[in-house]
Structure 1
Amino acid sequence: MNLSAVTRPVERLMATAQNGFEVLRLGGLETGAVPSPFQIVESKPMYKLRRYFPPDSRARQRPAGPPVLMVHPMMMSANMWDVTREDGAVGILHEAGIDPWVIDFGSPDEVEGGMERNLTDHIVALNEAIDTVKDTTGQSVHLAGYSQGGMFCYQTAAYRRTKDIASIVAFGSPVDTLAALPMGIPPNIGAVAADFMADHVFNRIDVPGWLARTGFQMLDPLKTAKARIDFLRQLHDRDALLPREQQRRFLDSEGWIAWSGPAVSELLKQFISHNRMMSGGFNINGQLVTLSDITCPVLAFVGEVDDIGQPASVRGIKRAAPGADVYEVMIRAGHFGLVVGSKAATATWPTVADWVRWLSGQDSRPAAITPMQDSDAEPDESGVALSARLMHGVAEASEVAWSLARGAAGAVVNTRKSMRTLAVETARTLPRLTRLGQINDHTRISLGRIIDEQADGAPNGEFLLYDGRVHTYEAVNRRINNVVRGLISVGVRQGVRVGVLMDTRPSALVAIAALSRLGAVAVLMMPPDADLAEAIRIGGVSEVITDPGNLDAARKLSVKVLVLGGGETRDLNLPDDSNVVDMEKIDPDAVALPGWYRPNPGFARDLAFVAFNTVSGALVPKQITNYRWALSAFGTASAAALGRGDTVYCLTPLHHQSGLLVSLGGAVVGGTRIALSRGLHPDRFLTEIRQYGVTVVSYTWTMLRSVVDDPDFRLRGNHPVRLFIGSGMPPGLWQRTVDAFSPANVVEFFATTDGQAVLANVAGAKIGSKGRPLPGGGQVELAAYDADDDLILEDDRGFVAVAEPNEVGVLLARPWGPIDPTASVKRGVFAPGDTWISTEYVFRRDADGDFWLLGNRPLLIRTERGVVFPESVTDAVSRINAVDLAATYSVEEAGGVVAVTAITLRDGMSVTTADLTDAFASMPVGLAPDVVHVVPEIPLSATFRPTVSALRADGIPKASRNAWHLEPDTGKYKRLTAAARAQLCGTGDSSGTEN
């Protein structure tokens, strides 16, 4: 009998028992490995800064090279960079002539106050560590971060605007987090879940180290199970286990540390739910930061089977940082395998060393490093599927089978995607529409009340962005309450009309909201050009709130002046007997609230604001009730599907109805952030939308023209905007806007001043359409209309007839709440005793039910040929690619009324007679204009609306190469000659000359 056949199993059993006992007693096998030497260069409560192989170390064989500062994720120990001295990051980089540094955030559960740390603490700490490395070495720093550590690198580089940073190296670090979530989680569901966890779970609990380890292992359960089985099967073979023992012990126990709840909550909210690594506008120490400020080179390591830092998510850095040169290295590895293990030792870290030497001018670009390609494709939800990782582990499925399965799965995903999106958006908007539908005369609803509700539900929610800073709902709400106390102290009571003469700034928003909370009426005055004295008179104003910038104008008015904003230390140099009160010097805590005061007392029927329009040079007051405000606010939030992840960019002044009702109203109801702008400046527009992470831009009329048509406009890389909301945008500008900001869309609103009729083009598919009635916004109908005789048509029973598809009609609205005394009220319209209001706007409704504005009934142009609908004509000519702006108006001459359309042209472009003929031939209803001519410019109002009074005063244009007239017999346009002009004027005078 062979003796070895008997002894070998016994020896194996004894070796297994001995090694197993050592594992149980010590947690693992004793490898005899010695960690790489390091020196603690800086020690603070938040972090320790290690320098490996310091200059006085015996292990250092050469002068220090370029410094690389390595950053670990929150849940892993900083020792991950030195799991094994020979194959670990610091050892390999040192051997390659690199100077390795490591920031160690420590274990927060072992430090006093550690479990209160948030993400900002980590980024500020890394920011300080970079300064220390730079001061010590005299060289710019290469940042290298794994997983969330790479996210820290990106965020810190943006926070310091790449100062003293030579490059960023990120390993499996997600940027576009919603492009591909782990385990194939759909982005809509993932965002909602992350928001819920942030607000309701991790604001109460922390994540211990064992839970972090378990969660990491559950992401790849097969690999975890296989590693443990292999370990047990080789437990008898110590020599086989020792090379991987340190890595096993690190992953199984020693490498995991606790997460603080606030840090997890902030991670989930800012960078998963709101995806602000991509959109920008994330908050670091009250400063708004965007990755577009990164300008140093970036190298992203992409794991081919990485389910945590999935390729689609990692590659988001290319679009998020358009100013950086971005490169990538693809490695067939999972998440942890990118930085620790055989692949990392042979591929990752030698490539990092080559990267640093290349940027230092010591070598050429490594072959493994390639420029990251632009990807404009909209990300899907597949990412790295669980099945891909399972196949990577077991290698049992063929590539053909996988391709078929992936194709089938993709079809299912695409089918389900729209259903999930619809479900999420319905869940978000339905409560808003339901609440709007429940409002009646006696419902308490107001701007001040909604802000109160948001502050109560999410006090730490970010609300107001201005000058690069962020203010929470709680902070703004506290300021509003303080201003209310100040107003009470100077005698302002419920129902009093108070003028607001302020530039768009936080203090203006606070003043308007404080008057709403008090139950007073905010009369919104227009600095600096309006007739302020007339606004005071017709607005019934008793006091004016102003800011220091408008104080001089306010002091000329015959009312008490209240100055708000600028801080408590400013000196306004006011005389003792001045009629001016410095609100900032009032101590709110010293003001006793009177017995009559109840916060937010306003009913829906109550007057809340007075705004002004200018009509023919005269101020016309527009009364806005709380219901009118609520209708626009809830309607905007619903139509734009606004949520807490959005940021609304308020380009219009708050004294304008669009700024008050759409931008501010929609943001407050949606619980979103609102970014106030100092005004429209094309050179600042792109900077601010990235800095603030703007997702929704408000506009009026032609406002966006100065942005998209600016010669210096360059939109590189990613932008966060998903939607433009407003009213009056010409179709041509609409098309240029969506082309420039693709895939962003436009939601165009139409609303009468009294708010009785509201339409919204939510889909944005039909450019130029005003859309359909807004759900919850009241009932509207289109009354059949004979434009030639200016008559609303009746049926054979005497009721008003409803316009058929593509027939001309007058828009009627079923009234809700108080009716404006100047409104055109109709009774017995469609049924006995019913009441409707005629908006006096003329529309057509297409076969799909979408409304198209034709003009205002009194302003329709009635020529000898028939009726010309000015809005229809203007829209048609605006669709010509060469046309910039257009306006259609009437000119009265001896020969009758002439319809004239003025156009301006885009730089370097021209129009032909064929362009004009084709454009007007496509109009479904109405006649083409008599004359079309090119003008140098079309005057715009303060709200960027084209005005025609000056053009009308010039009469019919003179004959020229850039003027055309319509030949009624042929329906074609010809060059306007002196003879043709004389005929239009009805004078027979052909003295006009061609230019």
Structure 2
Amino acid sequence: MVGLNADAVRGPLRRAVATAQNGLEVIRLGGLETEVDPSPFKVVDREPMYRLRRYFADESEGVSKPPVVLVPPMMVSADVYDVTTENGAAGILRDMGLDPWVIDFGSPDTEEGGWSRTLADHVVAISEVVDKVHEHTGRDVHLGGYSQGGMFCYQAAAYRGGRNLASLITFGAPVDTLAALPLGIPAGVATRGAEFLADHVFTRLAVSGWMARTGFQLLDPAKTVRSRLDFLRQLHDREALLPREPQRRFLALDGWVAWSGPAVAELLKQFVVHNRMMTGGFVIKDRLLTLSDLTVPVLAFVGEVDDIGQPLAVRGIRRAAPRAEVYESTLRAGHFGLVVGSTATAQTWPTTGEWIRWREGMGERPTAVHEMRYDEHPDSESGVSVSNRIIHTAASIAEVGVGVGRGLAAAATGAVRGTREISSEAVRTLPRLARLGQMQPHSTVSLGRLIAEQGRKSPTGECFLFDDRVHTYQAVNVRIDNVVKGLIASGVRPSARIGVLMETRPSALAAVAALSRIGAIAVLLPPGGDLDSALAVLDVDTVIADPENLKSATLVAANVLVLGGGDARQLDIPGDSDVIDLEAIDPDSVRLPAWFTPNPGRARELAVVLFTATDRGLEPRFVTNHRWALSAFGTATAAALGAGDTVYCLAPLHHSAGLLVSVGGALAGGSRIALSRGLDPARFSGEVSRYGVTVISYTWAMMQGILDEEHLDLDRSHPVRLFIGSGMPVGLWKRTLERFAPARVLEFYASTENDVILANVGGSKVGSKGRPLPGSARVALAAYDPISGRLEEDDNGFVRMCRDGEVGLLLGRPSSDGEVMSPLMRGVFEPGDSWVPTENLFRRDSDGDYWLVDRKDTVVKTARGPVFTQPIIDALGELPTVQSVVVYGVDIGGDSGVARRLDHADEIAVCGISVRGGNTLPAKTVTDAVAVLLPVQRPDIVHIVDSIPLGRAYRPRASALQKQGIPAPSARAWYYDATSSSYRRLTKAVAAERFGRVDDSAGGSA
């Protein structure tokens, strides 16, 4: 009994002594002495940004082995790849016949200039290392990175276009950061929080090593507490603790380094707030990049229970890089367990080695590697399955009793999702609508002012993209101010009407904004247009031109100012012309006059003059600052534009869709503007991918050339979410939806000179112009007779309002916010009211949506009454083989018997159709297509033409066909037979009998 009692006493005593000894060692040294040495390496290159380690350098020198370069995250020490020789990445990969290299970024707090490092600095450094390793070894490099280091690898591969890279290997590296955020944080909350941190915190504050360590541990507090309790409970058992001691020390003390504030801010802004790893258009050293061009093979390690690099976020690479071979290896591991610990030792690093050997032709594909698939998922999913999470965390919850909060938060997320989305939208929308509602005639608002405002909010923010370069607000405002000085030095003053004859380019935007900043009026002249007719009714004696349009400008203006053209510009100045080169004026030498006040434009004042092409030539349209602001903020609201959007301005700046919708909407929404040199199907897909275009502006049939391009190089992973513009034909609208699914079309109707704006925001009614936009003018449909051109009155002499379904003239109710530039009608529906007429005829359906049916001047006046062109265009435009449709009237009046039989009307409705691929149309197909129209609204003749020309705004033009008169009888022309309600082939006899055509010399199809 005495012996037993002694053993019972000695056992706990020995345990207490061992605990005290080991605890003292931990306190004194930070951990237990393991007597395990790290792998040997040489620092083969030193730069301010990094030190390049080559492991087992003596063994590898002169021996050709596949090189693998490993990249740590910003916040983790490079030793993460070499915790121990036996269990670390470097040692395992070396034993598999590979040549391991590691980039050591050091810690910003110990490196010169470390606190000012940017994210781009890291990416460029990695690219430099790839070049150096390739040059040293003579072999292509396998580039691997953990967590954020993996993100760097993707970005560096895009930066160098995949050159000299054999493969990419990532470990828990998120790509679609908003698909699954740590701890189930809602995307809306995360983006707003990340944006605030990027703009207001990390611009002033860096992250120290202890902050990084604490933050990582707080992401999984249950596991952190459990591991500490386990360590304390086993502190007496040194042999049990030693195998895990290197990993514990790394996580608890040695593995964390500081982050520089600018790098964190850039990371948050580009890849969390804007998620540009997915959408494209991320910026590295002023270069626009996208992962969609990558063709380098990828292996992504996915942790089934990784709550930081969650599976859905990691698998985003499948959609972001559709041209690459993308594989994955899925492990039952958390974020850190992917690269350090028993799972990494047994699975991650051997699989990595086998992958490299397979890509080098030295072995078979690893069994743990399979092609990655990306399945669509509800917003509530993260990719970490419930069963895996329960299995992985059950012990933590049981032992420590934490984690309940996360479960409750996840349950609440679904319940508040709808409210959160509505609230998020309201945060963006309400300030815009409030600004419009508060605008008075004397309010200062203009293009120049809005650019200045955005520049003050975010000087380094990206204003616009052009030719793969990024222009920040700070740079743009400096350029505008310099142009202002040049213009003032050249005699430009407020209220002066100054012509702008320039192609779409940064200098054109700068010229318009500079005129706005002075308070002058930009008269936007379309290059290649009829400039004489454009300037006939305007007092313009000075024109700003780019080098390409300089000669044209000297023919129409007494004074010409030339701007832009780049470094290789060549000016062809006629000898007798008065031309001033604005680029030659030194801004610092210009003293601003006392009268100059930046951005003086008021809402009621004229801002710009645009031109609309008509049969009479180019007619001016006068746009006030209020009208410009209404379009800008209205577009931003209807399209829900935000900082994460890039708006692709396909329309030229001299068109309302360019300056009012694209540029105005993007500025009001805080979005990036992607300026294009014009519509080029070959350039389109590349710019959409590189710029990360989310919204595309269009006019009329602009998308026709894009969709007809055989080699349109965009797949379903494209970033486009919305098309926005006006005039898109119904058939083209449907083709666009099909080709760019799930993107939507937001069709506008806007009267340039007053405040009428309709928008089909929902997009469910293809072809509809929608309803009045909040903040725009109230509208009404007035009963109108297109034949006589008169409004119809009731018994009291007031104009009769149209019923639902009845065609009428669209009127807008002017507000007091802007100066009315169009003729005003008073006493229209009631005494004292005032309305501004548009030129367009609409019908309103029972839901309150408006449908355009025609312009007043293009209605065909036939013997049976008016025939409206747009419903015919919509009906026939839906045929799959039809490319374009125009409807026009042909005058068959005069002294002929035909004219007498048609009484007072002397036109017939003719429809011209162009088809794709040399196809034709059976008469029955034509008959079936127009069956949706009332017989009196069907065209008299339908014929196929070789092509239908598009105007400069991509509007199909009928004038050339109209001049040719009645189409020649042929197998491609049909007339409407009212008796049989069908279309029949147009013969010479029918043409002579019905339409007075007696010979084949005139007219015919184009």
- TM-score interval (norm. to shorter): over 0.9
Corresponding residue for residue 456 of structure 1:
456
Q: CA RMSD in A?
A: 2.7
Q: Secondary structure at the match of 2:480?
A: helix
1:183 and 1:386 in contact (8 A); partners too: no
- Measure the CA separation in 1 of the matches of 2:716 and 2:49: 35
Q: 1:957 aligns with which of 961, 967, 970?
A: 967
Q: Secondary structure at the match of 1:957?
A: coil
The alignment status of 1:224 with 2:224, answered yes or no, reads: yes
How many angstroms does 1:414 deviate by? 5.9
2:542 and 2:557 in contact (8 A); partners too: no
Matches within 5 A, 1:578-727: 579-616=578-615, 618-716=617-715, 718-727=717-726
1:903 and 1:934 in contact (8 A); partners too: yes
Corresponding residue for residue 47 of structure 1:
50
The alignment status of 1:28 with 2:31, answered yes or no, reads: yes
Corresponding residue for residue 292 of structure 1:
292
Corresponding residue for residue 274 of structure 1:
274
Question: Which deviates the most, 582-591 or 760-769?
Answer: 582-591
The alignment status of 1:17 with 2:28, answered yes or no, reads: no
2:988 and 2:998 in contact (8 A); partners too: no
Matches within 5 A, 1:379-528: 380=380, 382-384=382-384, 389=389, 391-394=391-394, 416-527=416-527
Corresponding residue for residue 190 of structure 2:
190
- Measure the CA separation in 2 of the matches of 1:876 and 1:183: 52
Corresponding residue for residue 119 of structure 1:
119
What's the % identity of the aligned pairs? 56
How many angstroms does 1:651 deviate by? 1.0
- Measure the CA separation in 2 of the matches of 1:84 and 1:9: 33
Q: Deviations over 1:954-977 (max 9, x none)?
A: 222233333222222343333333
Corresponding residue for residue 105 of structure 2:
105
Corresponding residue for residue 809 of structure 1:
808
- Measure the CA separation in 2 of the matches of 1:575 and 1:807: 57
How many angstroms does 1:615 deviate by? 1.7
- Measure the CA separation in 2 of the matches of 1:427 and 1:642: 12
Q: CA separation of 1:188/1:204 partners in 2, compared to 1, >3 Å: closer, same or farther?
A: same
Code of the aligned partner of 1:920 = V
- Measure the CA separation in 1 of the matches of 2:386 and 2:935: 57
Q: Secondary structure at the match of 2:25?
A: helix
Q: 1:37 aligns with which of 28, 35, 40?
A: 40
The alignment status of 1:253 with 2:263, answered yes or no, reads: no
2:175 and 2:316 in contact (8 A); partners too: yes
Q: Please, what TM-score do these two structures have when normalized by structure 1?
A: 0.94
Question: Which deviates the most, 611-620 or 257-266?
Answer: 611-620
Q: CA separation of 1:819/1:239 partners in 2, compared to 1, >3 Å: closer, same or farther?
A: closer
Matches within 5 A, 1:283-322: 283-322=283-322
- Measure the CA separation in 2 of the matches of 1:5 and 1:928: 107
Q: Secondary structure at the match of 2:610?
A: strand
- Measure the CA separation in 2 of the matches of 1:836 and 1:40: 79
Q: CA separation of 1:147/1:704 partners in 2, compared to 1, >3 Å: closer, same or farther?
A: same
2:311 and 2:382 in contact (8 A); partners too: no
1:784 and 1:809 in contact (8 A); partners too: yes
Q: Secondary structure at the match of 2:697?
A: strand
1:497 and 1:522 in contact (8 A); partners too: yes
How many angstroms does 1:701 deviate by? 0.5
Corresponding residue for residue 561 of structure 1:
560
Q: CA separation of 1:450/1:586 partners in 2, compared to 1, >3 Å: closer, same or farther?
A: same
- Measure the CA separation in 1 of the matches of 2:997 and 2:250: 97
1:220 and 1:389 in contact (8 A); partners too: no
- Where structure 2 has 5 or more consecutive residues not aligned to the other structure, the ranges are 399-405, 899-905
Corresponding residue for residue 735 of structure 1:
734
- Measure the CA separation in 2 of the matches of 1:928 and 1:869: 9
Code of the aligned partner of 2:48 = P
Q: Secondary structure at the match of 2:809?
A: strand
Corresponding residue for residue 768 of structure 2:
769
How many residues align structurally? 984
1:184 and 1:385 in contact (8 A); partners too: no
1:639 and 1:762 in contact (8 A); partners too: yes
- Measure the CA separation in 1 of the matches of 2:367 and 2:582: 66
Corresponding residue for residue 968 of structure 1:
978
Code of the aligned partner of 1:941 = G
Corresponding residue for residue 873 of structure 2:
874
Q: CA separation of 1:867/1:567 partners in 2, compared to 1, >3 Å: closer, same or farther?
A: closer
How many angstroms does 1:992 deviate by? 12
- Measure the CA separation in 2 of the matches of 1:589 and 1:318: 52
Q: Secondary structure at the match of 2:917?
A: coil
Q: Deviations over 1:700-720 (max 9, x none)?
A: 111111111112224235211
Matches within 5 A, 1:56-205: 56=58, 63-205=63-205
Code of the aligned partner of 2:880 = N
Question: Which deviates the most, 475-484 or 907-916?
Answer: 907-916
Corresponding residue for residue 337 of structure 1:
337
Code of the aligned partner of 1:844 = R
- Measure the CA separation in 1 of the matches of 2:913 and 2:386: 58
Corresponding residue for residue 401 of structure 2:
none
2:783 and 2:791 in contact (8 A); partners too: yes
Q: Secondary structure at the match of 2:971?
A: coil
1:861 and 1:890 in contact (8 A); partners too: yes
- Measure the CA separation in 2 of the matches of 1:469 and 1:62: 42
2:754 and 2:836 in contact (8 A); partners too: no
1:445 and 1:627 in contact (8 A); partners too: yes
Q: Secondary structure at the match of 2:300?
A: strand
- Measure the CA separation in 1 of the matches of 2:655 and 2:1004: 43
Corresponding residue for residue 903 of structure 2:
none
Corresponding residue for residue 402 of structure 1:
none
Q: Secondary structure at the match of 2:217?
A: helix
Corresponding residue for residue 884 of structure 1:
883
The alignment status of 1:918 with 2:921, answered yes or no, reads: no
How many angstroms does 1:61 deviate by? 11
Q: Please, what TM-score do these two structures have when normalized by structure 2?
A: 0.93
How many angstroms does 1:945 deviate by? 0.3
- Measure the CA separation in 2 of the matches of 1:743 and 1:300: 27
- Measure the CA separation in 2 of the matches of 1:396 and 1:950: 79
Code of the aligned partner of 2:477 = N
Code of the aligned partner of 2:458 = A
Q: Deviations over 1:71-122 (max 9, x none)?
A: 0001100000001211110010000001000000001111122111110110
Code of the aligned partner of 2:865 = G
Q: Secondary structure at the match of 1:961?
A: strand
How many angstroms does 1:441 deviate by? 1.7
- Measure the CA separation in 1 of the matches of 2:575 and 2:929: 67
Code of the aligned partner of 2:314 = V
- Measure the CA separation in 2 of the matches of 1:459 and 1:387: 47
- Measure the CA separation in 2 of the matches of 1:918 and 1:556: 53
Question: Which deviates the most, 965-974 or 341-350?
Answer: 965-974
Q: CA separation of 1:699/1:679 partners in 2, compared to 1, >3 Å: closer, same or farther?
A: same
- Measure the CA separation in 2 of the matches of 1:933 and 1:601: 55
Q: Secondary structure at the match of 2:702?
A: coil
Corresponding residue for residue 403 of structure 1:
none
Code of the aligned partner of 2:942 = V
How many angstroms does 1:805 deviate by? 2.2
How many angstroms does 1:356 deviate by? 0.6
